[in-house]
Structure 1
């Protein structure tokens, strides 16, 4: 009989309370895989959407289904053909499902070493939002000297996108609630109040125009963006595929890779990128974490402390 582990899983689609902790079989390292003892798992709105009934393209849901798509921890086993990793290595990684657990098995090309000085909390919440933001700036061709508009600048993706764009030498205008304006300003962006009248406020904040726009919030923000950006191939959204298609804008999905994650981890190690974790909860309160991310408000990320804490490896 295989060893057991604790994990947060669902037995059926439904509300946050459906996500409960129970014992499930501990994974083993298959060919080309490593098994990681998880310290921190990030919580995404995508995870909540899966819990509610959405199935990601190419994935299959098998109840009881463990949720979670990003993590950090230590390698506990190395499978045949998995090169570059040893037992005890501190790593961060990603997979579509299965990360709200004490152990996760993952292809070795979906993990990266955690550099010295980067905390478990940062490493475990970086992959999803970080790689999405990095991909978006790449697809929208954001360059130094240009102006980028970020809708939802205080959120997980927005927080990283603002910092990466500023590091490229771009000027950033970020929409956010008034309560988050100082936070958005601290990231290097010019904050603008979202809601009615935001088009005029963005124009006032960017008198020389806007070159590209990233919508990380929804709420029909693409309608504002098309009034400001002439080239609709440089307007992207990660939340509103239907409206993007109707307007001829880009639907942006994350192009995740170990190399991209490694680049982001190195930026965290050098102090050029910061991940804000607004709330860290124990695994047993994963359902509360889902309630938090489903509000659509708050700065940065929500994390689950699966192991013994979020300190430095």
Structure 2
């Protein structure tokens, strides 16, 4: 039996919003979803008129919906933004090479300039090569660290004012859980921020912060957007997958648990006596870091020296490993 749209428009509903439980027709769902993202942007003061915004584009549902809806809202509400697409090619055969074809298609459909940076040109390594060195247990650490800095490098090259990422409510709730389980106070504070910025760093914002993953999928489906849906071949081994599975179980019992976790993270405060990392600049690459040598440089050093675990183990052990490697180097001899 048809269910009437909860918005009272007289049409039959085609979906039930996971977030609110409302039964809506397509048009009312589009309006509700778009106005929520617009409110997130305006309430969070994410953009300034005349700004150039780089959209971190992977070709997946989140970044595709983000690109589509930012273009739509920019024109509808006259934000006055210049939008560009910024993609990172990690060098994952059968995954990223295919997804970048989707990004190129979005580039043409949405009439946005596109810049692609690769791990190989930035670091001299592809993720395929890194996985051969480190195995599949810690590969996501390398990928995540390198990708964050690659986006920062790309944003600097494009001289943009802000980078918009496709992080959705599910992503943020998962990150809150992961940081609680790790006891990572510094990241726990940053992960719920709608805008993250440091001195001399280009700000990053999350326009889809309060959008449920299921609703993003439904929006992309009913809008018939072109996106890449295959999961990364290395992702099944990621720690995040366990947090995601736990969150999905919670959502079955309490659909609002995703937003509840985000709001809880927003209300957490750190005791004034707790020392937090101080942001500075990496002594090697010059990018923002809370250590003398940033994580990407440490990981890269380990790879280049044949010590791939150098950036994963504790700092004290990493220093010892670096010293042992220096001592183990053969001393050059002179032939007379």
Q: What is the TM-score of this pair, normalised by structure 2?
A: 0.33
Higher RCO (CA 8 Å, separation ≥ 6 residues): 1
Q: What is the TM-score of this pair, normalised by structure 1?
A: 0.34
Instruction: Report the structure, 1 or 2, having the larger helix content.
Output: 2
